[in-house]
Amino acid sequence: MARTAISMGLFLHLFALTVAFASNTSPMIIENQRLRPDVKRQLRQVPLVTPYLRVLNMDTGFGAGNEYRGDDFHLTHGMQWDTDHTVEVDLTLADGSTKSYVLPEPDLEPRLRRRRLQNLTVRTARLATTGNEVVEGRLPRAIAAHLVARAQAETGQTVTGGWIVCRSHLLQDTLAPESSDDAVRDPFSDQYYRDVIAYNILVTNGLVELLKDESRADSAPSTAPQ
């Protein structure tokens, strides 16, 4: 009896783990694309699976799915997706002061929360490569709307506008630490960042809209300086 119970528990745990991997690598939805059945996400509807995953902190993204319905093991590429990304927001308040946010926030705890926000910023950067302005603006608009509401709650003032930008942190060249240039040696200097996509934030009658700033996109080289 005990052996049966242990075997059943192990089977259910492995099933939940499989669902976690599969459902978190489902593809992005591409505008005007015919939707197909997504069995992986339907598996998440099995009773108790999602609550179980959340209790064990297993309900996180294990990969960035793409339109080809395959895993994108971006950490193996050694290219743009093997970099950290941040979403930075500056909001202008009614009295002329500003309120700034960076996602993920430095030293954010718990670490699981930071991982989730990091996944959000990576997805924001990835959507910016679709070439579809409707798709690429979805996450920035949602993030901006949330932070506008947060700023107004924290300050008691209305937000009149601002900007939001997704940035990638480029990898240093292997010889950079030996450079005589302080800026080249510093992995956090401005030359190791590029603006992936940027928007001006417009707030009208409480509604948040975005206006794409073409001048900021790709304002730094896509590879680290030599």
Whole-angstrom CA distances from 17 to 6, 22, 60, 101 are 16, 9, 11, 34
d(CA 71, CA 74): 9
Q: For the chain, which residues make up each domain, given as ranges?
A: 1-72, 79-226
pLDDT for the residue 66:
42
Between 177 and 222, the higher pLDDT residue: 177
Q: Which long-range contacts (CB under 8 A, 24 or more apart) does 52-59 make?
A: 52/16, 53/16, 53/19, 53/20, 57/112, 58/16, 58/17, 58/20, 59/20, 59/24
User: Tens digit of pLDDT for each residue in 151-205?
Assistant: 999 999 999 999 999 998 887 877 888 888 888 888 888 888 889 999 999 999 8
CA dihedral 49, 123, 117, 204 (to 10 degrees): -110
pLDDT for the residue 207:
92
Tokens representing residue 157 in the block: 């003032």
Residue 84 near residue 169, CB atoms below 8 Å:
yes
User: Tens digit of pLDDT for each residue in 26-78?
Assistant: 444 555 555 555 676 677 778 888 788 777 767 665 444 444 334 444 455 55
d(CA 221, CA 184): 14
Closest-CA residue to 153 (of 199, 101, 190, 102): 101
**Strand-by-strand arrangement of the 84-93 sheet:** 98-103, 84-93, 159-169, 193-204, 207-212
d(CA 26, CA 29): 9
d(CA 116, CA 44): 18
Q: What's the gap between Cα 43 and its chain centre? A: 24
